[in-house]
């Protein structure tokens, strides 16, 4: 078979396909300086588009860096987004509050929210789906819980024990760090997330009851960890050490964590309950004391005055 196409860079000056003597020939235009410049410009623009395209993941990488420590539950097939975390957190808090009623003291609650918000703004996760909220449980046990999605509950027993604003801030900073680290979500058994992931991917049709059961069991996984089982020692130690950094960043005295833990140790010596699902206070006192640097000189006069005003025992 005859060759149909022949390439040529010669005349005619206008490019295109010509049929000559029954053969098709493709002619390219003569490469003038203008055309070379034009092609170079196009190549440059293509390169720009390529760079813009690969820059998007860089931006997302920066976003992830901004959310350091806010990774989703590892090893699961369903990833929990901000809104889902909020709804799980509401159910966890509702479950806890069915066992520990609220102390509806609005002056104290506002004071707690101001301390908590001052800390949160210095954390790596200051924005959360519906914001952080702090409240007091009407219980004389010394206890504190952080539900996913930013609900932090501390007991009246903690308020009784604290001698100043910085000590309350220390307890809140520890709980905030659990939320920033997404520790409560890590308490959910991975099998639940795998099952939910399967439903979501449409591999199997999950009925609304099956999904509700996964939701309920996930909530119970978390409340079981918060009220009884406790986080791992590593998670607790991280939360303590990071809480000290958070206190310092917000202008509170990091040594306040040590002083409040020493009070807990005192309670535990009397065999009373203090932070039932946390490691023994004595162990926490040891590593917190070790990590503590030189105490900064802090003027506490205004803080002490507002603490006395807001906290009625």
Partner 1 sequence: MKKKACLLAFLAMTALLLAGKVLVVQVLHAQLLAKPDFLSSNLATIQKGACLEIIETKGSWFLVKNADGLKGYVHGSALAGRGTSLSGIAPGKKGASEEELALAAKGFNEGNERKLRGSREYDFTAVDWVMAQAVANPDVGDFVREGKLK
Binding mask 236-275 for partner 1 (x = CB under 8 A): -------------xxxx-----------------------
Identity of the residue, 272 or 298, whose beta carbon is nearer to partner 1 in the bound complex: 298
CB of 218 to partner 1, least distance (A): 7
Q: How far apart are the first and last CA of the chain?
A: 102
Binding mask 5-44 for partner 1 (x = CB under 8 A): -------------------------------------x--
Question: Does 196 engage in binding with partner 1 (CB under 8 A)?
Answer: yes
**For residue 94, what are the contacts with CB-CB under 8 A and spacing of at least 6?**
none
CB atoms inside a 10 Å sphere around CB 75: 8
Identity of the residue, 108 or 285, whose beta carbon is nearer to partner 1 in the bound complex: 108
Maximum pairwise Cα distance, the chain: 109
The site that binds partner 1 (CB under 8 A) totals a number of residues, namely 78
Q: If DSSP codes are grouped into helix, strand and coil, which group holds residue 151?
A: strand
- Contacting range for partner 1; rule: CB under 8 A; set: 26-34, 100-108, 170-178, 264-272: 100-108
Separation of alpha carbons 214 and 230, rounded Å: 21
Question: Does 303 engage in binding with partner 1 (CB under 8 A)?
Answer: yes
Q: Are the beta carbons of 124 and 67 closer than 8 angstroms?
A: yes
Q: Which of 19, 20, 53, 297 binds partner 1 (CB under 8 A)?
A: 53
Q: Are the beta carbons of 169 and 252 closer than 8 angstroms?
A: yes
Question: Does 62 engage in binding with partner 1 (CB under 8 A)?
Answer: yes
Residue by residue, DSSP assigns 11-61 as S-SS-EEEEETTEEEEEPPP--HHHHHHHHHHHHHHHHHHHHHHHHHHHHH
CB of 11 to partner 1, least distance (A): 22
Identity of the residue, 189 or 232, whose beta carbon is nearer to partner 1 in the bound complex: 189
Binding mask 147-176 for partner 1 (x = CB under 8 A): ----x-x-----------x-----------
Using a CB cutoff of 8 Å and minimum separation of 24, what contacts does 221-224 make? 221/187, 221/188, 221/189, 221/192, 222/88, 222/92, 222/147, 222/148, 222/184, 222/185, 222/187, 222/188, 223/92, 223/95, 223/96, 224/187
Identity of the residue, 32 or 49, whose beta carbon is nearer to partner 1 in the bound complex: 49
Sheet with 144-147, side-by-side order of all strands = 133-137, 151-155, 144-147
CB of 21 to partner 1, least distance (A): 31
Separation of alpha carbons 134 and 241, rounded Å: 21
Q: Which of 128, 144, 171, 187 binds partner 1 (CB under 8 A)?
A: 128
Question: Does 308 engage in binding with partner 1 (CB under 8 A)?
Answer: no
Question: Does 292 engage in binding with partner 1 (CB under 8 A)?
Answer: no
Question: Does 49 engage in binding with partner 1 (CB under 8 A)?
Answer: yes
Q: Which of 22, 33, 98, 234 binds partner 1 (CB under 8 A)?
A: 98
In the block, residue with structure tokens 């992931």: 197
Identity of the residue, 70 or 277, whose beta carbon is nearer to partner 1 in the bound complex: 70
Identity of the residue, 244 or 264, whose beta carbon is nearer to partner 1 in the bound complex: 244
């Amino acid at each position: 078979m005859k060759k149909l196409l022949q390439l040529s860079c010669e005349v005619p000056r206008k490019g295109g396909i010509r049929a000559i003597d029954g053969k098709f020939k493709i002619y390219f235009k003569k490469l003038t300086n203008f055309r070379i410049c034009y092609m170079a410009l196009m190549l440059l623009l293509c390169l720009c588009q390529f760079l813009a395209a690969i820059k998007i993941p860089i931006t997302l990488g920066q976003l992830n860096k901004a959310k350091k420590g806010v990774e989703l539950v590892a090893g699961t097939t369903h990833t929990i987004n901000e809104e889902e975390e909020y709804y799980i957190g509401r159910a966890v808090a509702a479950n806890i509050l069915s066992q520990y009623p609220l102390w509806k003291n609005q002056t104290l609650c506002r004071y707690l929210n101001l301390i908590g918000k001052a800390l949160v703004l210095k954390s790596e996760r200051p924005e959360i789906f519906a914001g952080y909220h702090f409240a007091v449980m009407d219980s004389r046990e010394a206890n504190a819980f952080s539900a996913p999605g930013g609900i932090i509950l501390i007991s009246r027993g903690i308020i009784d024990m604290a001698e100043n604003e910085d000590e309350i801030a220390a307890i809140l900073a520890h709980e905030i760090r659990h939320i920033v680290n997404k520790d409560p979500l890590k308490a959910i058994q991975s099998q639940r997330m795998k099952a939910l992931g399967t439903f979501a991917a449409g591999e199997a049709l999950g009925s609304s009851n099956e999904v509700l059961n996964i939701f309920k069991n996930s909530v119970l996984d978390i409340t079981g960890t918060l009220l009884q089982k406790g986080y791992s020692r590593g998670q607790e130690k991280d939360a303590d050490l990071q809480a000290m950094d958070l206190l310092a960043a917000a202008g509170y005295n990091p040594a306040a964590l040590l002083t409040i833990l020493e009070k807990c140790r005192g309670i535990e010596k009397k065999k009373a309950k203090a932070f039932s699902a946390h490691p023994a206070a004595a162990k926490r006192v040891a590593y917190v004391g070790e990590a503590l640097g030189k105490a900064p000189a802090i003027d506490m006069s205004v803080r002490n005055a507002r603490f006395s005003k807001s906290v009625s025992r």
